[in-house]
Amino acid sequence: MSYSKIFVYGTLKKGEPNHHWFRLENGFSRFVGNGTTIKKYPLVIATEYNIPFLIDSPGQGYQVLGEVYEVDEKMLANLDILEDHPKFYVRRLEDVKINDDINQCWIYFLPKFKKEMLNKEMFEWYSSKGPHNLVYCERYNRNPNYNHKDEILVNLEILSTVVFI
């Protein structure tokens, strides 16, 4: 069986609201250790639901702290469903430092974002109950008539109609 390493930085970490996705029924997972991205990225909290996003804008923000798990293909497929990969987030291999070793780990990034997202406060690490006082709103508590993606995503249909002179 094939295993991959995945770096999680937000609500999938231990003690966070979505950590339950690592249950055995979703596939195999094993905690490897704490990790830090080699590159700097903006980790921001956005939308009225206080969702953490790792923005695909390398060189800005911080080397992000998170957790690394070894997962099987079934778990990775289930995490792709949670993260709506590749429509919303994209999953990409990046270097992550675990103890003194550099490992290639999958990381979910937000690739198509409004530039205003880069003006938000950036964090080195995330906790839903952190000092920022921006508690994550779990999916079952959300307004079904509100699409939080509209707050953060660039409207690609509008961009495709822009004519550059």
Task: Decide if 83 is catalytic.
Answer: yes
- What backbone phi and psi angles, to 5 degrees, belong to 90? -115, 145
Report the C-alpha gap between 114 and 60 in whole angstroms.
Answer: 15
Report the C-alpha gap between 2 and 141 in whole angstroms.
Answer: 36
**CA distances (Å), origin 27, targets 24, 75, 82:** 5, 4, 14
The active-site residue, picked from 48, 70, 73, 83, is 83
Three-class secondary structure of residue 152 per DSSP: helix
Three-class secondary structure of residue 159 per DSSP: helix
Other beta carbons less than 10 A from residue 26's beta carbon: 19
- What backbone phi and psi angles, to 5 degrees, belong to 109? -120, 150
User: Could you tell me if 45 and 51 are in contact, meaning their C-beta atoms sit under 8 angstroms apart?
Assistant: yes
The residues annotated with a catalytic role in the active site are 83
